[in-house]
A and B are shown apart, each in its own frame.
Chain A
Amino acid sequence: MSAANPFTHWLAHLAGVEQRTLQPDWLQLRCAATQLPELTTALVHDWQAEFATLLVEETGVDDVLAVHYLFYLPNDGQRIETRIEAHPGEELPAISDTVHAADWHEREAWDLYGLRFRGHPFLGDFVLHDDDWPEGVDPMRRRFDGHQRPDVHGSGADWQPPKILQEDGAIVFPIGPIWGDTNESGLWLLETPGEQIHYLHTRLFYKYRGVEKIAEGRPAGDALLLAERFAGASAFAHGWAYCQALESIAQLRVPPRAQRLRVLFAELERMRHHAANIAEIAGSTALSVGKAMAQDIVESLLRLSARLCGHRYFFGILQPGGLRQDLDEHRVQLLLDTLPAVEQRLRDLEDRLERSSSFLDRIEEMGTLSPELAQTYGVVGPIARASGRPLDLRRHLPYGAYTHLQPEIPVEQEGDGYARLRIFFAETRISGEMVREVAERLPSGPIAEPWQPQEGHALAWVEAPSGATFHWLRCDTDGRVSRLRLGTPGFRNWHAFERAVEGAAFQDFPIILATWGLSIAENDR
């Protein structure tokens, strides 16, 4: 950055903020907790910084917690880490008032670390349900043993569904945690006077597996299995992010062929992920032939994945330093022979859906997230791009072979179900083109560099099918994980979901849910 840069100029005149350049593009700002709201507000509102994730870590000294607020500047790829220290019993000022994207992160830090945020209106009953977990036991703290089954379950306070709407005849209609035919578990409380949904309360974390906790102490190479398997619908993306963190710690350069193949698998996964969402959207409007056609595409892509790398969901293909197995000529040809027909079926399906007015009626102006709200909540991925936010880490923080391969980023402005459907289709098209482009020009060479676990820490990121994902990893001297932070797109986008449901008709809830296409496993971790 040049000295004339107004951002650098602003930084130079910040009083009371200690600045360190951790890496060429990574700036650390240390300040007193009282300065935090002003600083983070300026970053987000004056400098258009995007909030990446909140990382809490024990410093190992006197029970002090290090709290890192991670941001990036989409224009020039600068990463900014605002770091403060929280002493036992200290309350931190909440930043979610102005940096709304951090709201759920603060709730999570209260539940898991016992870190209290002054001014946050909704602390409690979030990751740990109040009816299941007692106050004052903070499972992410080192002193808590994650391997043991603590004898505390069921001893928490009674929990009652919240009820805001007080008019006559108003009800709270619960959906979940077991609901519908084949769905992920979660609870949605719809407040309605009869027809229109006035408020929605989303209660997730029925699937909380404590992945960040149970990763601690595992050998860094084996924790990759967890990174792949906590959100199976985007296993490759999360596995890739995790591997990048390990490679960054070991300062390992992944061979070009492996870099290209990773792009190929990631884009195939994106196609399958979006096709599965399209199947659910068609299914939610009872369009069974449309659903069946989309499912057929999903199944074709799953079988193709299994033939390319041995597993339908890309489990076990990644390894730190590269890939576990190569794609020989025969399988590259299989891919190039199979893919065009799948892409054609996607185009046909899109064309037919576009011409079904009864279908479009049900998703147009449905579950709308306005560009203003999308900005406020800092949503990511296809949800952001359907609401006028052209954000994509493949472009804004290029990683791997995306430094050379720049995908087209489709953007829509309406933010409704139809806009999201168009984004899903557009991205399958772009991904298909990228897969073929990569497959046709694969460089030769090795597919992995030998990797050894090393002590250190790193932040890595990937644009998963559902959006920006950030993995922050620290390994200790034995090559074991001592902290793994999974900042997932699901966690970001579920926060905004309830705003899209307010005012919708009761029967449209499943359709809105399908057009958002969010993974609960990815949120709950």
Chain B
Amino acid sequence: MSFWPYYGLKQGIQTTPWPDGEDLSPGLSPGRPLSAPVTAPEATAALCPVGALQARAEGVHVAFDRCIHCQRCRQGEHALPWQEDFAWTVAAANNQGPLGGRFYESLNVLYVDAGACGACVNEVRLIDAPAYNLHRLGIFVTATPRDADVLLVAGPITDAMRTAIRKAYAAMPEPKRVVGMGVCAVNGGIFGESFACAGGLEKIVPVDWWIPGCPPPPLAILQGLLRVVGRAVPQMTEEGTP
């Protein structure tokens, strides 16, 4: 005989104080490089295998929607400063704005895997773990597009999934929002555009928000979903300051 409810209670509350308070636990996020003035911008930019670092007169600019956290610009002579934040959701070009008040306590998310490597899906699974607990924020994961307010897509958009994504999007009731998570969904990431991948969610359905990262950690995903609703959440700018 096993007393699971007792074991559960004995664990105590494991949930992060974020977004009401700060969570500074180490290891929440892979972190990211920050745009910074450096002595040799060209040399720093050359470290990046995916073109996320752009050399400019004043230093190096980080196009974070391309960064795959390969860490090549993290150490050595030409390194950039890294910051371990996670609040990095950005609005897509065709953003329709937040869903608003009616969705504050009930936002239903349909997750679709369009070629994600397994790290994204693992991070999405963990937003349901005690450490992050999406339900306290009024967010729920649904298995059907008919119930979904948000379409959350990961992966470089493989061709075999295009029809499924379009059908799921069409079956969702209005108002609806689309979120692309992971660099792969933004622009194909390391896989890029090829004979097998569209290389970006925007080529299939209109997108409202991007959650870059490779993969975006659980709190980045939660931050993105809270921005979809329009709830006030901490947000880092491109330069890494709140």
Q: What would 12 A/B residue contacts be, using CB atoms closer than 8 Å?
A: A129-B160, A147-B194, A147-B195, A149-B198, A150-B195, A185-B161, A303-B25, A307-B26, A311-B30, A315-B70, A352-B7, A356-B2
Is B137 in the interface zone, CB < 8 Å from A? no
Is B5 in the interface zone, CB < 8 Å from A? yes
Whether the pair B28, A303 counts as a contact (CB closer than 8 A) is: yes
Whether the pair A185, B2 counts as a contact (CB closer than 8 A) is: no
Given contacts A148-B195, A205-B160, A356-B4, contact A182 B71 (CB under 8 A): no
List residues of B whose CB falls within 8 A of some A CB. Answer: 1-2, 4-5, 7-8, 11, 14, 25-31, 49-50, 68-72, 74-75, 110-122, 124-126, 128-131, 141-143, 145, 155-156, 158-161, 164, 168, 189-198, 214-215, 217
Most interface-central of A144, A292, A352 (chain B CB within 10 A): A292
Residues of B within 8 A of A433 (CB): none
Is A276 in the interface zone, CB < 8 Å from B? yes
Residues of A within 8 A of B192 (CB): 214
Residues of A within 8 A of B117 (CB): 229-233, 235, 521
List residues of A whose CB falls within 8 A of some B CB. Answer: 129, 132, 139, 144-150, 153, 177-185, 205-211, 213-214, 222, 225-226, 229-235, 276, 279, 287, 289-290, 292-293, 295-296, 298-299, 302-307, 310-313, 315-317, 324-325, 352-353, 355-357, 359, 519, 521-522, 524
Whether the pair A310, B194 counts as a contact (CB closer than 8 A) is: no
Contact of A225 among B68, B143, B145, B217 (CB under 8 A): B68
Contact of A324 among B71, B114, B191 (CB under 8 A): B71
Whether the pair B121, A183 counts as a contact (CB closer than 8 A) is: yes
CA of A357 to CA of B71, assembled, Å: 47
CA of A230 to CA of B119, assembled, Å: 10
Further 11 A-B residue pairs, CB within 8 A, beyond A232-B122, A352-B7: A179-B143, A182-B141, A209-B158, A211-B191, A279-B125, A295-B129, A306-B29, A312-B217, A315-B69, A316-B71, A357-B1
Whether the pair B118, A233 counts as a contact (CB closer than 8 A) is: yes
Most interface-central of A295, A298, A355, A519 (chain B CB within 10 A): A295
Minimum Cβ distance to chain B for residue A72 (Å): 27
Whether the pair B71, A317 counts as a contact (CB closer than 8 A) is: yes
Which secondary structure dominates chain A's binding surface? loop
Contact of A310 among B71, B110, B114, B118 (CB under 8 A): B71
Minimum Cβ distance to chain A for residue B190 (Å): 5
Residues of A within 8 A of B74 (CB): 310, 316
Count, A-B residue pairs, CB within 8 A:
219
Whether the pair B68, A229 counts as a contact (CB closer than 8 A) is: yes
Whether the pair B164, A178 counts as a contact (CB closer than 8 A) is: yes
CA of A287 to CA of B5, assembled, Å: 10
Residues of A within 8 A of B121 (CB): 182-184
Whether the pair A233, B122 counts as a contact (CB closer than 8 A) is: yes
Given contacts A147-B194, A209-B158, contact A303 B27 (CB under 8 A): yes
Whether the pair A225, B49 counts as a contact (CB closer than 8 A) is: yes
Given contacts A213-B194, A293-B7, A310-B71, contact A315 B30 (CB under 8 A): yes
Residues of B within 8 A of A232 (CB): 116-120, 122, 215
CA of A163 to CA of B223, assembled, Å: 45
Residues of B within 8 A of A303 (CB): 25-28
Whether the pair A207, B126 counts as a contact (CB closer than 8 A) is: no
Whether the pair A355, B2 counts as a contact (CB closer than 8 A) is: yes
Residues of B within 8 A of A355 (CB): 1-2
Minimum Cβ distance to chain B for residue A198 (Å): 25
Contact of B195 among A146, A185, A206, A229 (CB under 8 A): A146
Residues of B within 8 A of A214 (CB): 191-192, 194, 196
CA of A230 to CA of B214, assembled, Å: 12
Determine the residue in chain B with the shortest Cβ distance to A345: B11
Contact of A292 among B71, B75, B130 (CB under 8 A): B130
Whether the pair A316, B69 counts as a contact (CB closer than 8 A) is: yes
Residues of B within 8 A of A206 (CB): 158, 160-161, 164
CA of A145 to CA of B193, assembled, Å: 12
Residues of A within 8 A of B129 (CB): 292, 295-296, 298-299
Whether the pair B25, A310 counts as a contact (CB closer than 8 A) is: no
